[in-house]
Amino acid sequence: MKEGRVNSDYYVPAQLEGAKLTLFGAATKETILDRDRMKSKYGHYNYLVPVSILEPFPASDSIVSM
């Protein structure tokens, strides 16, 4: 996750391949900011967020509309 882009409270890392979107889980802003950073080949820093630490999505029937 690109360092300068961490400005929301909740994140859903995903990967788009053609017409297929894969959602990996979810993470709070605090979870992302607690991770190590690594410099990219383009000169900026990315937070390293492994899929293993992501939270599972809640069951759809537990989501309440506001």
pLDDT digits (tens, 9 = 90+) for 28-55: 999 999 999 999 999 999 999 999 999 9
Q: What is the pLDDT of residue 1?
A: 66
* Whether the Cβ atoms of residue 45 and residue 39 lie closer than 8 Å to each other: yes
Q: What is the pLDDT of residue 35?
A: 93
pLDDT digits (tens, 9 = 90+) for 13-32: 889 999 999 999 999 999 99
Has residue 3 got a pLDDT over 80? no
Q: In angstroms, how far is CA 44 from the centroid of its own chain?
A: 17
- More confident position, 10 or 4: 10
